[in-house]
Amino acid sequence: MQVIIGPSVIQGIAQAPASKSSMQRACAAALLCKGETLINNAGKSQDDRASLGLIESMGAHSSWLDTKTLKVSSHGIHPRAREVNCGESGLGIRMFTPILALSNQRIIINGSGSLLSRPIDFFEKVLPQVSVRVSTTRGKLPMTIEGPLVPADITMDGSLSSQYLTGMLMAYSAAGASNKTIRVNNLQSRPYIDLTLSVMKEFGMHLPENRDYQEFFFPAPGSVMQNNSRTYQVEGDWSGGAFLLVAGAIGGEVRVNGLDLKSTQADRAVMDALEICGADLSVQERQILVRSNNRLSGFVFDATDCPDLFPPLVALASYCEGQTTISGVNRLLHKESNRALTLQEEFGKMGVVIHLEEDQMLIQGQRQLRGAHVESRHDHRIAMACAVAALRADRETSIAEAQAVSKSYPDFFEDLKAIGANVHSPYSLSNH
């Protein structure tokens, strides 16, 4: 699908989408915690649907009570299928693999699209330490596992993604880990581990002691999880909301509702970047007003713990006077695309000069961006970043494979249009 964005002055109120980080963790916890779970503000992105498919394959039942409320019933892990599919969800493959390994059955794990090219050899190193047989296809999907996972004292690498640790923490908890320690070297994206532990706590799961993010010690569990019912509220998504906030900073005025300033989501740090660069901000409880001005300045920002902010921050930096330096580029190698190179090349088409120097990205701000034909590379965040940057370009910008936004924010273009953006397409903007 191609979407065309024309120069726009935006003004209006937008609702942040549901957080897929929160939603997918809730799906995993609902599978592991026997009983009935009501998930409010449940998301419907492609990644969210992939997680629902996974827990259904593992024995859970789910049904929509209304457009925003999902009921999940579970009796624990009882596989209905010998092969499961994670779609294109990086969190899905990394979090659910240890959880699926709690079963004693042989399970084939597959995926689609860009997930098929992402390395997963991590599991070949770690899962055998917890009595799980594993084989990959030259370090990639499809992968076969056979448990059951038996908690043990292990050491794992946290430098690639915290999502691997999220899966291990949930699996250890569900397996009743007792006096076992997971040691982690060089853990990245610590706020996402805070989110994982927060979800586990809300679901009443057996929690580890967090020893400065270097060790997670599971004491003897006080009691085994019993059948009960619970309600979980999915947070508004700071990752998707960041694009709306940046749109306001460069293209007009936007009130974004539904974002919790006390959230543990790492991408809440977009507020720091907006403040540093001089954006006009007015903050109230769960409502943030952002207005554009002509005084935006280049900024220095460390995105190591929040790499998903690179795309919206590049769009923001493109309109900031002077140079912006964002560190954490090494975290971008294994996303839906190599985001560092993709951002450099696609924003280069719009006249933005981006230099990559080791772990840093240097962006030279421009007074005026050029409208151009850009490619999303089937990467949802690239599509959204280009759309936001196009709001103040000198002419129309066309975005190829714009349907990629469905991975995390299916209604993105509709929401952008609702606040006044000049958005059109030869096709329907939704349901792709």
* Same fold across 3-17+236-424 and 20-220: yes
Distance of CA 309 to the CA centre of its chain: 10
What per-residue confidence (pLDDT) applies to 376? 96
Helical spans, DSSP H, in 162-269: 163-174, 190-202, 238-251
Quick: pLDDT tens for 363-413. Answer: 999 989 999 999 999 999 999 999 999 999 999 999 999 999 999 999 999
Instruction: Give the tokens for residue 303.
Output: 């995105």
Domain 20-220 has CATH 3.40.50.300: no
Q: Which residues contact 49 (CB under 8 A, 6 or more apart)?
A: 87
Q: Which CATH number fits domain 3-17+236-424: 3.65.10.10, 3.90.550.10, 3.60.15.10, 3.10.20.30?
A: 3.65.10.10
What per-residue confidence (pLDDT) applies to 331? 85
What per-residue confidence (pLDDT) applies to 177? 97
Q: What ranges do the domains of the chain cover?
A: 3-17+236-424, 20-220
Q: Rounded CA gap, 239 and 19, in Å?
A: 8
What per-residue confidence (pLDDT) applies to 228? 85
Q: Rounded CA gap, 315 and 238, in Å?
A: 16
> Which residues are bridge partners to 231 per DSSP?
38
Task: Give the predicted TM-score (pTM) of the model.
Answer: 0.91
| Residue 406: CB atoms within 10 Å | 21
Which phi and psi (to 5°) does residue 307 adopt? -65, -20
What per-residue confidence (pLDDT) applies to 223? 59
**Percent of the chain's residues with pLDDT above 70:** 96
Quick: pLDDT tens for 304-362. Answer: 999 999 999 999 999 999 999 999 998 887 555 689 999 999 999 999 999 999 999 99
pLDDT score of 104 more than 90: yes
Mean pLDDT for all residues in the chain: 94
Give the mean pLDDT of 129-145.
Answer: 97
Helix (H) or strand (E) holding 95: helix 90-100
308 labelled catalytic: yes
Of the residues 308, 379, 411, 415, only one is catalytic, namely 308
> For the CA atoms of 388, 391, 396, 402, what is the dihedral angle to 10 degrees?
20
